[in-house]
A and B are shown apart, each in its own frame.
Chain A
């Protein structure tokens, strides 16, 4: 008995294979956007593999974290490569996730019956930021330490429970070794566990519902009285996905070899915050918006007044499938709002980067 036969008798491989054989992907002018989801998944897989390797040497304590990362970069064979790939892949994953999110919004791919697919995806998107925020502190260097202090401080503007949240996040009044241990636990256990469940659900639902077709393309096909052209998932789409992943791998290798991720100076909690402290690029837009906010407006904290619309925006994003009435007008409104949000984020990020360059 061959291994194949043995497996087919004991697992649903035959039905999976059959489903793959019959699965097709719509072909249209926006088809390229389908690759962003796969690219995000590829970077996530890279994170899992490189993160697992880093765990072999990393030590999550204020006295050893920085030294252990230094050891990984200097002494462990290819440790520099693994750490650089982990850091670069994290950033590229967030970039790919952004592109995936906006392509789904512009394509209205969240509409019925894909509401649960959207919810699982958008939650994974926010967890990706939590991964970035918690992972940034782990090398325990100066920039990460002070950026984490500023970042965790932001929760303090919430009325009533702000201080309690800050205390919970930090494991004390200030960012200390307790914060590092907490962030480490969140980064390598809690977030991966939640992500695994949500991502599995997201992927199963994507396979179950198939790729969404933008309403415009749907209407075009309907008008033409022809079915939407498609291509087989395997091997046509799989090979194209593999092509894109290979380019992503080449990009990661190039960035890691030519721009190895810096370690910086070890964090000194008693030192004054150095000039130019800023969060990672994906939080820059909010950081810059908070900088422009006045200290108080009518007795209310300016930071609070910035964070309220941002929080409302996040809630609206999560509930998007339920807010969109799926009419041409509502779709236009959502496109305009998404474009305005995108312009705002790009403009704020650009202003922050220009300030840094100046």
Chain B
């Protein structure tokens, strides 16, 4: 064997080994063992369905030929509808538009192909939580390559998007709260057609979920400014992968507020920023005060469900006010914040009234206790003065 081919074969083996790492969870598992649980085995396929040439034991399939091989069935609508009438058959077309597919078609075999994400054997349905492409596992699957600094630096990628994503509000929703509708890598980048969205289309990606924010932003004065500056609309304030939980402290003219990144107190828009900061601050403080007073009432045994309901309305207005910030204008933010502040004050009043009522009850009890003690003392004296028996 020529040295060049030997190096190539060795590199391929290393890559194949890396790709097969998740399968190594049971060291003794052979491709045949893994295939027992494979969705294809359940559909009645066998080794020869993919390993069309040669005889067992089969060798690995050439990486550049894996996607076309899968597409042989998965792009055939007539064939696939026998197994699932609603299944998609455009995965290969999508793959060819992805960065992975484009590079693979140039012969770059270090990029991902079907078996890298779905496994070669032991493939499970996406809806199966054990699948490496099930929502909770997607980021880990992507991270196998995208968190591998040595592998990524070869393509000029220095950062670590999966690690950044793990610190995001989206990861917290998916991994901590178990909300499988929360976005993971494939939600924004696409799965088979995975590619960076690009500055011009990132807002459309975010708008898939954040509909109202996107609608307000598109009508806002900021839209034209960001377009002219060539800035990725949402990314400018929220970043791309490490999207932190939004906070009211984002708004303001002093560091670390996000507005302060571009705005100074001498620039246009100061009044709007200040009004928003005050509105959010007053609303947040009002909700905290109401919550504290209602908690005190509840811990003292008072029933303040009506106050809790009003406070819930105030919290909904707080969420809406935070959304309305994306209009970058007084309207509709000011009205929503004012409504929330009024509701928080009402909830606080209900709590304060309950605590006042509690005080009234305890005072009443003190008076009743005094009367009872007086009555007991009188009774005791009367008993003592009874003639001896």
Contact = CB atoms under 8 A, between A and B. Distances in A.
- A and B together in one complex: yes
Interface of A: 27, 70, 73-74, 80-81, 229-232, 235-236, 239-240, 242-243, 246-247, 249-250, 253-254, 257-260, 262-263
B383 interface: yes
25 contacts: A73-B303, A74-B305, A74-B306, A80-B303, A235-B386, A236-B383, A236-B386, A236-B389, A239-B379, A239-B382, A239-B386, A243-B376, A243-B380, A243-B383, A246-B372, A247-B376, A249-B372, A250-B368, A253-B372, A257-B362, A257-B364, A257-B365, A258-B362, A259-B301, A263-B303
Contacts of B182: none
Contacts of B226: none
Given A236-B389, A249-B372, A253-B365, 15 more contacts: A27-B389, A70-B303, A81-B361, A229-B389, A231-B389, A243-B380, A243-B383, A246-B379, A250-B368, A253-B369, A253-B372, A254-B365, A258-B301, A260-B301, A263-B303
Nearest to A74: B303
A246 B375 contact: yes
A48 B301 CA distance: 25
A108 to B, nearest CB: 25
Given A229-B389, A240-B383, A250 B372 contact: yes
A230 B368 CA distance: 34
Contacts of A27: 389
B69 interface: no
Contacts of A235: 382, 386
Nearest to B366: A257
A71 B190 CA distance: 53
Most central of B303, B373, B375, B376 by chain A CB within 10 Å: B303
Count class of interface residues, chain B? 20 to 34
Chain B CB count within 10 A is highest, among A27, A232, A247, A257, for: A257
B302 interface: yes
A232 B389 contact: yes
Nearest to B354: A74
Given A74-B303, A246-B375, A253 B368 contact: yes
A259 B358 CA distance: 11
Residues of A contacting B: mostly: helix
Interface string B348-389: 000000000000011011001100110110011011001001
Nearest to B363: A257
Contacts of A80: 303, 361
A247 B377 CA distance: 11
Contacts of B368: 250, 253
Contacts of A249: 372
A254 B372 CA distance: 11
A246 B376 contact: yes
A339 to B, nearest CB: 33
A250 B377 CA distance: 13
Given A250-B369, A250-B372, A257 B361 contact: yes
Contacts of A73: 303
B372 A260 contact: no
B297 to A, nearest CB: 11
B156 to A, nearest CB: 51
Contacts of A253: 365, 368-369, 372
Nearest to B368: A253
B65 to A, nearest CB: 50
Interface in B67-99: none
A81 B361 CA distance: 9
Contacts of A254: 365, 369
B383 A239 contact: yes
A73 B375 CA distance: 29
Interface in B293-339: 301-303, 305-306
Interface in B133-173: none
**Which 5 residue pairs spanning A and B have beta carbons closest together?**
A260-B301, A257-B365, A231-B389, A250-B372, A243-B379
Contacts of B383: 236, 239-240, 243
- Of the candidates B301, B306, B368, the one having the most CB atoms from chain A within 10 angstroms of its own CB is B301
A249 B368 CA distance: 10
A232 B376 CA distance: 20
Contacts of B386: 235-236, 239
A231 B379 CA distance: 17
Contacts of A74: 303, 305-306
Nearest to B380: A243
Nearest to B365: A257
Nearest to A262: B301
B371 to A, nearest CB: 10
Contacts of A229: 389
Contacts of B389: 27, 229-232, 236
Interface string B41-68: 0000000000000000000000000000
Interface string B120-135: 0000000000000000
B316 to A, nearest CB: 21
Interface string B265-305: 00000000000000000000000000000000000011101
A272 to B, nearest CB: 15
